[in-house]
Structure 1
Amino acid sequence: MKKLADYKNRKRKSRPIIEVVPMVFDNNQATHRLVLHHVKRVIHKHSDELEKLAK
């Protein structure tokens, strides 16, 4: 699997600058679901790298 560092992009497209909207995380069920969803997604996506680091 190639990593982002393996790519050399010489023809970069200019992208519009967008404003980042801050989010406030509370200690409630909605925040818990949101964080768990994204953590599971990242773990699944990078599971092979995480297994190599664990060895």
Structure 2
Amino acid sequence: MLKHIKGFKIEDRKSHATIALQVLPIQFSDDEATKRIVIHNVRRLIHQHKAEIQELAYK
């Protein structure tokens, strides 16, 4: 089944921004999956605030 963009209605669209802003509770434990989640998020935060971190480091 081929759908075209003209076939979608704007009123039926779901906002992804509200889903992305929700905080989901997560139970951390001492395993590989938790380690990967934490490492991924720490790297993302460091990359996001890299300039600020370097500014503080070289004061």
User: TM-score band (shorter)?
Assistant: 0.5 to 0.7
TM-score normalised according to structure 1 size: 0.61
Aligned residues: 38
Instruction: Please report the RMSD computed on the Cα atoms of aligned residues, expressed in angstroms.
Output: 1.8
- Which runs of 5 or more residues in structure 1 are unaligned? 1-14
Over alpha carbons, which structure has the higher Rg? 2
User: Residue in 1 aligned with 2:56?
Assistant: 53
Which one has the bigger helix percentage?
Answer: 2
- Which runs of 5 or more residues in structure 2 are unaligned? 1-17
* 1:1-55 CA-partner distances (Å, limit 9, x unpaired): xxxxxxxxxxxxxx8xxx8542110000000000000000000011000000001
Report percent identity of matched pairs.
Answer: 42
